[in-house]
Amino acid sequence: MAKRQTQIPNVVVVGSSNTDLVIQSAKLPKPGMTVLGGSYQVIPGGKGANQAVAAARTGAQVVFVANIGRDDFGNDALARFEREGIGTRFIVRDRNAPSGVALIMVGDKGRNLISVAASSNNFLANAHIEKAKPAFANARCCLIQLETPLPAVRAALRLSKNQGVFTILDPAPCRRLAKSLLRLVDLITPNELELAELTGMPVKTKRNIEYAGEELLQTGVGEVIVTCGARGVCHLSGQGADWFSAPKVKAVDTVGAGDCFNGSLASALSNGLVMDEAIRFAILTSARSVTLQGAQSSFPNLKPSNCD
Protein backbone atom coordinates (compact mmCIF):
# COMPACT_ATOMS: atom_id res chain seq x y z
CA MET A 1 0.00 0.00 0.00
CA ALA A 2 1.12 3.56 -0.68
CA LYS A 3 2.20 5.78 2.18
CA ARG A 4 0.23 8.87 1.14
CA GLN A 5 -3.07 7.63 -0.23
CA THR A 6 -5.16 10.40 1.37
CA GLN A 7 -3.13 13.33 0.05
CA ILE A 8 -4.83 16.07 -1.93
CA PRO A 9 -2.74 16.42 -5.09
CA ASN A 10 -1.40 19.62 -6.53
CA VAL A 11 -0.37 17.70 -9.64
CA VAL A 12 -1.81 14.60 -11.30
CA VAL A 13 0.68 12.96 -13.65
CA VAL A 14 -0.76 10.54 -16.22
CA GLY A 15 1.83 8.56 -18.12
CA SER A 16 4.46 5.90 -18.46
CA SER A 17 6.88 4.14 -16.15
CA ASN A 18 9.95 2.38 -17.54
CA THR A 19 13.23 0.96 -16.36
CA ASP A 20 16.20 2.42 -18.25
CA LEU A 21 19.06 0.07 -19.11
CA VAL A 22 21.92 2.47 -19.80
CA ILE A 23 25.35 1.97 -21.39
CA GLN A 24 27.87 4.81 -21.28
CA SER A 25 30.06 4.88 -24.41
CA ALA A 26 32.87 7.03 -25.78
CA LYS A 27 30.84 7.41 -28.97
CA LEU A 28 27.43 6.43 -30.27
CA PRO A 29 27.20 3.68 -32.91
CA LYS A 30 25.96 4.28 -36.43
CA PRO A 31 23.62 1.72 -38.07
CA GLY A 32 25.41 -1.61 -38.48
CA MET A 33 28.23 -0.60 -36.12
CA THR A 34 29.25 -2.17 -32.81
CA VAL A 35 31.08 -0.10 -30.22
CA LEU A 36 32.61 -1.17 -26.93
CA GLY A 37 30.70 0.47 -24.13
CA GLY A 38 31.77 1.54 -20.70
CA SER A 39 29.65 1.44 -17.55
CA TYR A 40 26.22 -0.21 -17.41
CA GLN A 41 23.42 0.96 -15.12
CA VAL A 42 19.81 0.08 -14.38
CA ILE A 43 18.03 3.41 -13.83
CA PRO A 44 14.36 4.24 -13.19
CA GLY A 45 12.73 6.08 -16.08
CA GLY A 46 9.67 6.58 -18.25
CA LYS A 47 8.47 10.08 -19.06
CA GLY A 48 5.48 9.91 -16.73
CA ALA A 49 7.47 8.54 -13.81
CA ASN A 50 10.29 11.00 -14.42
CA GLN A 51 7.92 13.95 -14.41
CA ALA A 52 6.12 12.72 -11.30
CA VAL A 53 9.44 12.48 -9.44
CA ALA A 54 10.57 15.90 -10.69
CA ALA A 55 7.30 17.47 -9.56
CA ALA A 56 7.47 15.80 -6.14
CA ARG A 57 11.07 16.85 -5.53
CA THR A 58 10.22 20.45 -6.38
CA GLY A 59 7.43 20.82 -3.87
CA ALA A 60 4.25 19.38 -5.40
CA GLN A 61 1.95 16.80 -3.88
CA VAL A 62 1.75 14.31 -6.73
CA VAL A 63 -0.59 11.48 -7.66
CA PHE A 64 0.59 9.22 -10.47
CA VAL A 65 -1.82 7.42 -12.82
CA ALA A 66 -0.10 4.61 -14.71
CA ASN A 67 -0.14 0.92 -15.68
CA ILE A 68 2.88 -1.17 -14.65
CA GLY A 69 3.64 -4.87 -14.78
CA ARG A 70 3.50 -7.44 -12.00
CA ASP A 71 7.23 -8.06 -12.23
CA ASP A 72 10.42 -7.06 -10.43
CA PHE A 73 10.74 -3.84 -12.44
CA GLY A 74 7.16 -2.93 -11.50
CA ASN A 75 7.67 -3.80 -7.84
CA ASP A 76 10.80 -1.67 -7.69
CA ALA A 77 9.04 1.24 -9.39
CA LEU A 78 6.09 1.17 -6.97
CA ALA A 79 8.38 1.12 -3.94
CA ARG A 80 10.40 4.00 -5.41
CA PHE A 81 7.30 6.16 -5.97
CA GLU A 82 6.23 5.62 -2.38
CA ARG A 83 9.70 6.62 -1.12
CA GLU A 84 9.35 9.84 -3.14
CA GLY A 85 6.00 10.54 -1.46
CA ILE A 86 4.06 10.08 -4.71
CA GLY A 87 0.47 8.83 -4.41
CA THR A 88 0.17 5.36 -5.97
CA ARG A 89 -3.50 4.54 -5.36
CA PHE A 90 -4.31 4.85 -9.07
CA ILE A 91 -1.37 2.87 -10.43
CA VAL A 92 -2.72 -0.30 -12.08
CA ARG A 93 -0.74 -3.56 -11.89
CA ASP A 94 -1.12 -5.30 -15.27
CA ARG A 95 -1.63 -9.08 -15.02
CA ASN A 96 -0.43 -9.80 -18.56
CA ALA A 97 2.02 -7.19 -19.89
CA PRO A 98 5.53 -6.68 -18.46
CA SER A 99 6.71 -3.29 -17.26
CA GLY A 100 8.19 -0.94 -19.84
CA VAL A 101 11.92 -0.95 -20.58
CA ALA A 102 14.11 1.65 -22.35
CA LEU A 103 17.52 0.82 -23.86
CA ILE A 104 19.74 3.90 -23.73
CA MET A 105 23.22 4.62 -25.02
CA VAL A 106 24.91 7.81 -23.79
CA GLY A 107 27.89 9.12 -25.76
CA ASP A 108 30.15 12.14 -25.61
CA LYS A 109 28.72 15.54 -24.63
CA GLY A 110 25.65 13.86 -23.15
CA ARG A 111 24.20 12.87 -26.54
CA ASN A 112 22.04 9.76 -26.47
CA LEU A 113 20.17 7.08 -28.41
CA ILE A 114 16.99 5.62 -26.90
CA SER A 115 14.69 2.74 -27.83
CA VAL A 116 11.62 1.99 -25.71
CA ALA A 117 9.57 -1.20 -25.27
CA ALA A 118 6.41 0.36 -23.88
CA SER A 119 4.81 -2.96 -22.78
CA SER A 120 2.33 -2.29 -19.91
CA ASN A 121 2.28 1.43 -20.75
CA ASN A 122 0.49 0.48 -23.98
CA PHE A 123 -2.47 -0.79 -21.97
CA LEU A 124 -3.30 2.29 -19.93
CA ALA A 125 -6.98 2.62 -20.81
CA ASN A 126 -9.89 5.03 -20.56
CA ALA A 127 -11.33 2.91 -17.77
CA HIS A 128 -8.18 3.45 -15.70
CA ILE A 129 -8.52 7.21 -16.16
CA GLU A 130 -12.16 7.13 -15.11
CA LYS A 131 -11.30 5.17 -11.94
CA ALA A 132 -8.73 7.85 -11.11
CA LYS A 133 -11.37 10.61 -11.21
CA PRO A 134 -11.04 11.33 -7.44
CA ALA A 135 -7.40 12.34 -8.01
CA PHE A 136 -8.50 15.15 -10.34
CA ALA A 137 -11.09 16.65 -8.01
CA ASN A 138 -8.71 18.98 -6.12
CA ALA A 139 -5.69 19.02 -8.44
CA ARG A 140 -4.33 22.24 -9.91
CA CYS A 141 -2.38 20.74 -12.83
CA CYS A 142 -2.56 17.57 -14.89
CA LEU A 143 0.69 16.67 -16.67
CA ILE A 144 0.53 14.20 -19.58
CA GLN A 145 2.93 12.82 -22.20
CA LEU A 146 2.54 10.58 -25.28
CA GLU A 147 4.12 7.30 -24.13
CA THR A 148 0.63 5.93 -23.40
CA PRO A 149 -2.26 5.38 -25.87
CA LEU A 150 -3.91 8.48 -27.32
CA PRO A 151 -7.42 7.47 -26.12
CA ALA A 152 -6.12 7.53 -22.53
CA VAL A 153 -4.39 10.87 -23.17
CA ARG A 154 -7.63 12.31 -24.53
CA ALA A 155 -9.62 10.89 -21.61
CA ALA A 156 -7.24 12.47 -19.08
CA LEU A 157 -7.39 15.83 -20.88
CA ARG A 158 -11.19 15.75 -21.06
CA LEU A 159 -11.53 14.76 -17.40
CA SER A 160 -9.17 17.57 -16.42
CA LYS A 161 -11.20 20.09 -18.38
CA ASN A 162 -14.42 18.89 -16.76
CA GLN A 163 -12.81 19.25 -13.32
CA GLY A 164 -11.30 22.69 -14.05
CA VAL A 165 -7.72 21.36 -13.88
CA PHE A 166 -4.97 23.15 -15.85
CA THR A 167 -3.62 20.75 -18.50
CA ILE A 168 0.02 20.47 -19.60
CA LEU A 169 0.90 18.20 -22.52
CA ASP A 170 4.50 17.20 -23.23
CA PRO A 171 4.13 15.96 -26.85
CA ALA A 172 6.81 13.28 -26.65
CA PRO A 173 7.43 10.96 -28.32
CA CYS A 174 6.00 13.27 -30.95
CA ARG A 175 3.25 12.55 -33.43
CA ARG A 176 0.71 14.65 -35.29
CA LEU A 177 -2.25 15.42 -33.04
CA ALA A 178 -5.87 16.16 -33.91
CA LYS A 179 -7.12 19.69 -33.32
CA SER A 180 -9.94 18.26 -31.21
CA LEU A 181 -7.30 16.92 -28.79
CA LEU A 182 -5.15 20.06 -28.89
CA ARG A 183 -8.15 22.20 -27.96
CA LEU A 184 -8.20 20.38 -24.61
CA VAL A 185 -4.62 21.48 -23.87
CA ASP A 186 -3.97 24.62 -21.82
CA LEU A 187 -0.18 24.44 -22.28
CA ILE A 188 1.90 22.35 -24.69
CA THR A 189 5.67 22.02 -24.21
CA PRO A 190 7.45 20.70 -27.34
CA ASN A 191 11.17 20.90 -27.96
CA GLU A 192 12.37 22.26 -31.31
CA LEU A 193 12.15 18.94 -33.18
CA GLU A 194 8.72 18.20 -31.75
CA LEU A 195 7.52 21.66 -32.76
CA ALA A 196 8.66 20.98 -36.32
CA GLU A 197 6.84 17.63 -36.32
CA LEU A 198 3.63 19.13 -34.91
CA THR A 199 3.49 22.00 -37.39
CA GLY A 200 5.49 20.87 -40.44
CA MET A 201 7.38 24.18 -40.26
CA PRO A 202 11.12 24.99 -40.03
CA VAL A 203 12.67 25.74 -36.63
CA LYS A 204 16.23 26.78 -37.55
CA THR A 205 16.00 30.35 -36.24
CA LYS A 206 14.29 31.99 -33.30
CA ARG A 207 11.88 33.68 -35.67
CA ASN A 208 11.12 30.28 -37.25
CA ILE A 209 10.30 28.96 -33.79
CA GLU A 210 8.01 31.90 -33.10
CA TYR A 211 6.16 31.43 -36.40
CA ALA A 212 5.73 27.70 -35.74
CA GLY A 213 4.60 28.36 -32.17
CA GLU A 214 2.05 30.86 -33.41
CA GLU A 215 0.79 28.24 -35.86
CA LEU A 216 0.36 25.82 -32.97
CA LEU A 217 -1.65 28.43 -31.06
CA GLN A 218 -4.04 28.58 -34.00
CA THR A 219 -5.04 24.95 -33.35
CA GLY A 220 -6.72 25.98 -30.09
CA VAL A 221 -3.91 25.29 -27.62
CA GLY A 222 -3.93 27.87 -24.83
CA GLU A 223 -0.17 28.50 -24.58
CA VAL A 224 3.05 27.08 -26.02
CA ILE A 225 6.46 26.65 -24.39
CA VAL A 226 9.26 25.55 -26.72
CA THR A 227 12.43 24.24 -25.09
CA CYS A 228 15.43 25.02 -27.29
CA GLY A 229 18.46 23.73 -25.39
CA ALA A 230 21.26 26.27 -25.20
CA ARG A 231 19.09 28.81 -27.06
CA GLY A 232 16.74 28.93 -24.09
CA VAL A 233 12.96 28.69 -23.87
CA CYS A 234 10.28 30.46 -25.92
CA HIS A 235 6.87 31.10 -24.35
CA LEU A 236 4.04 31.99 -26.74
CA SER A 237 0.55 33.10 -25.80
CA GLY A 238 -2.10 35.49 -27.00
CA GLN A 239 0.13 38.30 -25.66
CA GLY A 240 3.04 37.40 -27.96
CA ALA A 241 6.39 35.62 -27.63
CA ASP A 242 8.92 35.86 -24.78
CA TRP A 243 12.38 34.27 -24.67
CA PHE A 244 14.12 33.03 -21.53
CA SER A 245 17.85 32.37 -21.54
CA ALA A 246 19.39 29.11 -20.35
CA PRO A 247 22.39 29.08 -17.99
CA LYS A 248 25.66 27.76 -19.36
CA VAL A 249 26.48 24.39 -17.79
CA LYS A 250 28.72 21.44 -18.63
CA ALA A 251 26.28 18.79 -19.83
CA VAL A 252 27.12 15.28 -18.67
CA ASP A 253 23.85 13.51 -19.51
CA THR A 254 20.79 15.11 -21.11
CA VAL A 255 18.50 12.08 -20.58
CA GLY A 256 15.44 13.25 -18.65
CA ALA A 257 16.17 16.98 -18.89
CA GLY A 258 12.86 17.67 -20.62
CA ASP A 259 11.03 15.61 -18.01
CA CYS A 260 12.72 17.57 -15.23
CA PHE A 261 11.63 20.80 -16.93
CA ASN A 262 8.00 19.69 -17.27
CA GLY A 263 7.68 18.26 -13.78
CA SER A 264 9.26 21.36 -12.23
CA LEU A 265 7.06 23.63 -14.32
CA ALA A 266 3.88 21.83 -13.23
CA SER A 267 5.03 21.97 -9.61
CA ALA A 268 5.80 25.68 -9.76
CA LEU A 269 2.47 26.54 -11.40
CA SER A 270 0.53 24.38 -8.94
CA ASN A 271 2.24 26.18 -6.06
CA GLY A 272 1.10 29.58 -7.29
CA LEU A 273 4.00 30.93 -9.35
CA VAL A 274 3.03 33.00 -12.38
CA MET A 275 4.09 31.63 -15.76
CA ASP A 276 7.31 33.65 -16.14
CA GLU A 277 8.48 32.64 -12.66
CA ALA A 278 7.56 29.00 -13.26
CA ILE A 279 9.51 28.92 -16.53
CA ARG A 280 12.63 30.37 -14.91
CA PHE A 281 12.38 27.83 -12.10
CA ALA A 282 11.97 24.93 -14.55
CA ILE A 283 14.97 26.14 -16.58
CA LEU A 284 17.09 26.20 -13.42
CA THR A 285 16.13 22.70 -12.28
CA SER A 286 16.60 21.12 -15.72
CA ALA A 287 19.97 22.87 -16.17
CA ARG A 288 21.13 21.36 -12.89
CA SER A 289 19.88 17.92 -13.91
CA VAL A 290 22.09 17.69 -17.03
CA THR A 291 25.23 18.10 -14.93
CA LEU A 292 24.65 14.65 -13.37
CA GLN A 293 24.20 11.12 -14.72
CA GLY A 294 20.80 9.52 -15.09
CA ALA A 295 17.24 10.77 -15.28
CA GLN A 296 15.43 10.61 -11.92
CA SER A 297 18.73 10.34 -10.05
CA SER A 298 19.79 13.74 -11.45
CA PHE A 299 16.64 15.66 -10.50
CA PRO A 300 17.31 18.21 -7.75
CA ASN A 301 15.40 18.62 -4.51
CA LEU A 302 14.69 22.32 -4.97
CA LYS A 303 11.65 24.33 -3.98
CA PRO A 304 10.48 27.46 -5.84
CA SER A 305 10.96 29.49 -2.66
CA ASN A 306 14.72 28.75 -2.46
CA CYS A 307 15.81 28.67 -6.09
CA ASP A 308 17.97 31.81 -6.12
Residues marked as catalytic:
259
**Amino acid type, 292:** L
Contact 14, 48 (CB under 8 A): yes
Q: How many CB atoms lie within 10 A of CB 212?
A: 24
In the three-class reduction of DSSP (H, G, I as helix; E, B as strand; rest coil), residue 39 is classed as: strand
Contacts of 137 by beta carbon, 8 Å cutoff, 6+ apart = 163
- Backbone φ/ψ region at 105: left (φ over 0), alpha (ψ -120 to 50), beta: beta
Three-state DSSP class for 77?
helix
Instruction: Assign 29 to helix, strand or coil.
Output: coil
Q: Of 132, 128, 127, 131, which is closest to residue 142 (Cα–Cα)? A: 132
CA-CA distance, 188 to 285, in Å (whole number)? Answer: 19
CA distances from 113 to 10, 62, 105, 120 (A): 33, 29, 5, 22
CB 64 within 8 A of CB 46: no
DSSP 266: H
Identity of the amino acid at 254: T
